[in-house]
Amino acid sequence: MNIVLQQFLIEVPQAVAIWSALLVLSLSVLAVLVARPDRDRTPDDEPAPGSAAALAAAAAADLRRYADEVAVAATGAAQTARRRRSEWLAAQEEVDRAWQAYDEAETVARRFTGADAMPAPRTPRTPAEYALRERWLHQAAMAAHWRGELTARQLSDVFGHRDGWDPRRHPAEQEVALARAVRDGRLAGYRVAAERERSAWRAAELSAESARALSAEAYAAAQRLRVAPAPRQRAVPAPASAPATASTTATRWRPARVG
């Protein structure tokens, strides 16, 4: 009985001490949890999706992107307009050269006006005479081709005796035919150059109009972007080492939910 009482008197204080220590520890942890500082959160400066600020920021981004794209398009259109204008000026110079060449050929062919009414000179109709006439025609056609007055196809027709080219005709008749062929070829070249010049002019006008329209649109987009409200910038939090000021948000202590 004494032994039991002695053990009880020894172990009970130990148990009480252990439970007291556990209780103190639990109360300390609870106090720390209850007294845990929870600073008021500053609202996020980034607008919530679907809010008016978010829609305004998205609209501003779209406007900026559109202004950039239109500016790039206007720059490209201006470059294209300058290139088209250069092509038109080159085509215009080509028309002038073609007209001058035709005018010279027309002047030469005009000297033979009325030559058809004159009889051809009488020469002996021998194989040697025909060979001489053919040689003259070939040499004259080759010279005209090297001067750029006859195309390769026309020269082929001369040597192939096609398209009215008859080597048996007198050289005087061949000279008239050759002058008229050169004139007709120069006239055809002038018409082709004139049509090319008209096409180049239309392309230059369309490019210039497109460049003007895109330039005006780019200016308008830049103006709209300039007057559009700037999106609110996100506030940068103060560094942790910065001293607290009067404007610092006061710490609010609120009990933490336990369990």
Domain range enclosing 106: 58-121+200-227
Would you say residue 258 lies in a domain?
A: no
Can you say whether residue 227 is alpha, beta or left, with left for phi > 0 and alpha for psi between -120 and 50 degrees?
A: alpha
How many distinct structural domains can be found in the chain? Answer: 1
Which residues does 143 contact at the CB level (< 8 Å), separation at least 6? none
Would you say residue 90 lies in a domain?
A: yes
Would you say residue 242 lies in a domain?
A: no
Would you say residue 106 lies in a domain?
A: yes
Would you say residue 245 lies in a domain?
A: no
Each of the 259 residues of the chain gets a pLDDT tens digit; together they read 444 445 544 554 565 555 565 555 555 544 544 444 444 444 455 555 557 777 777 777 777 888 788 888 888 889 999 999 999 999 999 999 999 999 999 998 888 776 555 556 666 678 888 889 889 999 999 999 998 888 899 889 889 888 888 888 888 888 889 999 999 999 999 999 999 999 999 999 999 998 998 888 888 888 887 776 655 555 445 455 444 444 444 444 344 443 3
Instruction: Give the CA distances from residue 155 to residues 98, 140, 197, in Å, rounded to whole numbers and listed in that order.
Output: 20, 10, 28
Would you say residue 100 lies in a domain?
A: yes
Question: What are 247's two structure tokens?
Answer: 């404007």
Residue 163: the pLDDT is: 83
pTM of the prediction?
0.57
Angle made by CA atoms 101, 105, 111, in degrees to the nearest 5: 155
Buried b (16+ CB within 10 A) or exposed e, 188-197: ebbeebbebb
Would you say residue 73 lies in a domain?
A: yes
Would you say residue 25 lies in a domain?
A: no
| Of 59, 64, 15, residue with least CA distance to 223 | 64
* Phi, psi dihedrals of residue 142, rounded to the nearest 5°: -65, -40
